[in-house]
Amino acid sequence: MKILSQSFFIKIVAILLFILLLLAGTNMFQTRLVMEKLFTEQQEKRGLSIANMLATQASNLILINNYYDLHELVKNTQQSNDDVRYAFVVGVNGELLAHSFQNHFPAELLSANIPEVPSHYQVTELSTEEGVIRDIVVPIFEGRLGTVHIGLSNKSLQAVLNSTTKKMLFYTLAAVLVGIMLTMYLTNRLTKPIRELVRVTSAITAGDFTQRAVVHSGDELGKLGLAFNSMTESLQKLVAELNQKEEAMVHLLQKVIVAQEEERKRIARELHDETGQTLTSLMMGLKCLADNCTGNSSECQIEDMRRVVKDTLGRIHSLAVELRPSILDDMGLIAALEKYIADYRQTHQIDIDFHVVQEISERILREIEIPVYRIVQEALTNIAKYSQAQNVSVIITRKSNVLELIIEDDGIGFEVDVLMNGNASNNKLGLYGMRERAILVGGTFTIESSPGLGTTIYVRIPLVER
């Protein structure tokens, strides 16, 4: 029902308005019935009074057989009373003695109302073309001289009832309007604390814990508002403590990642400088030994050892680059990704489409370059290990206030919810690491994947200062 979806204010107003109209309608109906009954009784009493007066006057005329004056008496009685539709006198043997009709007398009236007891009056309602007629019969001289019939029309009664009903309707409508205004005023006062609680609840839902409900009364709703304010204060303190703990945790995590990057940089430098130089010296010594070797290569095997050292030196160099590419510090994110993707394409034989859209040519902040580089690095590593993809697309869109990164592959895909909610694994830790790096710089990280439909990673990082 539509009324159930309306506000509490409208519901209360509708209910009170319905009750008010029901009471007003019931009161009018009941009052009209009482008035109709009262008017009918008064009309019957008046009709009996007229009939008795006519019977008293007609008795003398009947005794002296003066039917002309009797006829005039009947006509004058009908003409002098507006609600008397007709009057006639019936003799003791049932013969018509006089009547007030101008033309012919309706013969059916003689038998329409015959008193069961001749010495008592009787009232009968007759349905005619003019409406309801109350036929009142009164005996003349206890019925020994006949009866007098008076027909009272219902029109005057209905006119009075209708006029009175219109007045009642007018006053009732005026009272209903006043009641509606009073109902709306009281309902507004009643629902104001509820609306205040809704306002504060909406503000809290939006994250504003400083709002408080304004309490104007000491009733149950006022006590509810005070309790709600107390709950909001406690909630605000709890949220503040959680925010402090979260900020501390984020700050600690940022320090851990910074320390991790510094350690990567140190290890990469040691691998490149110390270990690389040592292996280079070893390789040069082996070359000298190979040049002075008198036996053949199969016997000396020095050249093979030199090649092993050379390969090891290459792998150490690659590992140092992966740990901390110097090009990232020197030339920035885009150049570092181009170099990494070119090496990745050659190493894993996977077709990668790298596309960059830049609205500005200035270099990205170093605090953002490193997380984005690590996210791409981790994503491409996972693709090589697990996805079985043949084609990969990396798209970077840089605007004035945001950097967007999309990594998409056509691999086997996976169920995101199952993987993220399942047991810990290297792949899951890698996804968590990518997401945490994005969140630490104020960005968002989203994964979309389905079995057999590949995987898409969306990263969005604001470039404005935080």
313 or 169, greater pLDDT:
169
Q: Are strands 131-140 and 391-398 parallel, antiparallel or unpaired?
A: unpaired
Q: Of 151, 50, 147, nearest to 97 (Cα)?
A: 147
Q: Which pTM value belongs to this model?
A: 0.45
Q: Which domain holds residue 423?
A: 332-466
Asked if the structure places residue 268 within a domain, the reply is: no
Whether 102 has a pLDDT exceeding 60, the answer reads yes
Confidence of residue 424 (pLDDT cuts 50, 70, 90): very low
First to last CA, the chain: 50
Confidence of residue 299 (pLDDT cuts 50, 70, 90): very low
Q: Is 59 exposed, middle or buried (0-12, 13-18, 19+ CB in 10 A)?
A: middle
Whether 408 has a pLDDT exceeding 90, the answer reads yes
Asked if the structure places residue 18 within a domain, the reply is: yes
Whether 285 has a pLDDT exceeding 70, the answer reads no
65-74, 86-95, 219-228, 290-299: which range is least confident on average? 290-299
Q: What does DSSP assign to residue 365?
A: P
Asked if the structure places residue 308 within a domain, the reply is: no
Last residue of a domain, one of 173, 195, 213: 173
Q: What is the mean pLDDT of residues 424-449?
A: 79
Domains contained in the chain, number: 2
Q: Do 403 and 364 meet the contact criterion of CB atoms below 8 Å apart?
A: yes
Asked if the structure places residue 293 within a domain, the reply is: no
Asked if the structure places residue 7 within a domain, the reply is: yes
CATH of the domain at 378: 3.30.565.10
Last residue of a domain, one of 173, 200, 231: 173
Q: Tell me what pLDDT residue 344 has.
A: 87
- Provide the CB-side half-sphere exposure for 277 (13 A, CA): 5
Residue 229 to residues 68, 192, 205, 218, Cα–Cα distance (Å): 98, 16, 14, 14
Alpha carbons 78 and 67: distance in angstroms, whole number: 17
Whether 118 has a pLDDT exceeding 90, the answer reads no
Alpha carbons 78 and 97: distance in angstroms, whole number: 16
Asked if the structure places residue 78 within a domain, the reply is: yes
Asked if the structure places residue 414 within a domain, the reply is: yes
Last residue of a domain, one of 173, 197, 227: 173
Run of H or E residues at 446:
strand 444-449
- Mean pLDDT in the chain? 79
Chain segment 155-175, per-residue pLDDT in tens:
777 777 788 888 888 888 888
Q: Do 445 and 457 meet the contact criterion of CB atoms below 8 Å apart?
A: yes
398 or 16, greater pLDDT:
398
Question: Which residues make Cβ contacts (< 8 Å) with residue 98, sequence separation at least 6?
Answer: 58, 67, 70, 71, 73, 74, 88, 89
Q: Tell me what pLDDT residue 297 has.
A: 52
Asked if the structure places residue 62 within a domain, the reply is: yes
152-161, 254-263, 433-442, 445-454: which range is least confident on average? 254-263
Alpha carbons 137 and 150: distance in angstroms, whole number: 7
